[in-house]
Amino acid sequence: MRPLLEKLHRDHINLSRLLDLLSKELDALYAGHESDFDLKVEMLDYIEHYAEQVHHPTEDQINRVAFRKKSMKDHHALYERICKEHGDLIGLAHTFRETLEGAMQGEVLLREEVETRGREFVALQRLHLNLEEHEVFPLIDEALSDKDWAKLEQEIAHIDDPVFHRQDYNRFRSLIDYLKAHEDE
Ligand SMILES: [Fe+2]
C-alpha cells in the first residue's frame, strides 16, 4: 500500500479503537454507571482536532486529484458523498462535545441526550470509515500513478498524531492513560 494510504489506514484503525471505547462508555452511561466526562471530552477533542486539521485535509487533497481522473468519472456521486460526510462528521462531533460540556457544567441534561448525540456520531463515523476503506481507497489506489503519489507526498504536510504517536500528555492525559489501561481489550 502507498505510504500516504497506509498512514490514513493506520488513522482509521486508531479511530475505530476510540469508537469502540466510546461505545462502551455510552453503554455504561446508559446502564446508569458513573461516567467520566473528562475522558469523553478529550476523545472528542482529539477526534475533532486531528480529523479537522490532519486526517480529512489529507484525504481531501488526495481525493481532489484522484477523482479528477478520467477513470473516475463514474464515481462523482461517491466523491460528493465523502466530501459531505467530512463536513457532517465535524458537525456531529462538535454537537456531541457541546452536549458533554453542557452536562459537565451542570446543565440539566438527560442522559439520553448525551447518549443519543454520541451514538449518532459513532454510527456515521463507522459507516464513513468503512466506505473509505472498502470503496474509496481501492479506487484511489487504482487511479493514481507513481508520479501523482510523489507530488502528493511533497504537497501534504506531515503532522504527528498527538495521542497515538507524539503523545501530548498535557492535553490528552485522561485519554492516553485510559488507552494504556485498556490496551488488552
Ligand atoms: Fe478517513
Residue 107 to residue 112: CA distance in whole angstroms:
14
Structure confidence at residue 109 (pLDDT): 67
Q: What is the phi-psi region of residue 107: left when phi exceeds 0, alpha when psi lies from -120 to 50, beta otherwise?
A: beta
Q: Indicate the number of domains in the chain.
A: 1
Structure confidence at residue 108 (pLDDT): 65
| CA 53–ligand 1 middle distance (angstroms) | 12
Structural domain for 171, as ranges: 3-181
| CA 44–ligand 1 middle distance (angstroms) | 16
Structure confidence at residue 104 (pLDDT): 76
Structure confidence at residue 170 (pLDDT): 87
At 32, list the grid cell: 446508569
Domain at 129, CATH number: 1.20.120.520
Mean pLDDT by 10 residues, the chain (185 residues): 93 93 87 80 89 92 96 95 94 89 74 88 96 97 96 91 86 90 78
Structure confidence at residue 56 (pLDDT): 93
| CA 100–ligand 1 middle distance (angstroms) | 24
129 exposed, middle or buried (CB, 10 Å; 0-12, 13-18, 19+)? middle
